[in-house]
Amino acid sequence: MGQRPACPTDPARSALMRRVRQRGTTPEDAVAVVLRDLGIFYRRNVRSLPGSPDFANKARRFAIFVNGCFWHRHPGCPKTTTPTRNREFWLKKFDQNVARDAAKTAALEAAGFGVIVVWECETKDAEGLRRRLAEELKE
């Protein structure tokens, strides 16, 4: 049996990763539905705020990030796996993502915004998500 050729990236894997969207994802749409049902007004992908939160309301001073469990390293979630191929690259990438998330949150909090992080896996339970957002966004 021959060894695999030394290839830093697999073309099929690269194609798969290119298809991962950053905006307009299914988890974001689930959060939008809950916010509308709660009668909470928001803007999507607010580029004028630090980190361009997925949802924000400047008057009510809240920002919501909808994070993918894999990309943003949701603690304890089974989706938070690390690829075995090119492991050092992935570990560095994930560390940078987590550091960037912390910096975005700190900048928003310094500007007086409450920051909520909704994890991808939380969007599977619509009623649980509804309860959580209603509690965190009550006036």
Q: Does domain 22-137 have CATH number 3.40.960.10?
A: yes
Question: Mean pLDDT across the chain, nearest whole number?
Answer: 89
Among 65, 66, 61, which residue's Cα sits nearest to residue 41? 61
Q: What is the pLDDT of residues 94-138, one digit of tens each?
A: 999 999 999 999 999 999 999 999 999 999 999 999 999 999 998
Dihedral angle of Cα 62, 117, 48, 22, to the nearest 10 degrees: -150
Higher per-residue pLDDT: 7 or 37: 37
Q: How many helical (H) and strand (E) elements, i.e. helices and strands, does the chain have? A: 5, 4
Other beta carbons within 10 angstroms of residue 18's beta carbon come to 7
Residue 62's pLDDT band (boundaries 50, 70, 90)? very high
In this prediction, residues 45-51 reach a mean pLDDT of 95
DSSP string, 15-61: HHHHT--SSS-HHHHHHHHHHHHTT---EES-TTSTT--SEEETTTT
* pLDDT at residue 2 tops 80: no
* pLDDT at residue 69 tops 80: yes
Q: Where are the domains of the chain?
A: 22-137
Q: What are phi and psi of 25, to 5 degrees?
A: -85, 165
**pTM of the predicted structure, to 2 decimals:** 0.82
Res 9: pLDDT: 62
Res 13: pLDDT: 54
Residue 5's pLDDT band (boundaries 50, 70, 90)? very low
Res 109: pLDDT: 98
Write out the two tokens for 102.
């912390």
Res 19: pLDDT: 52
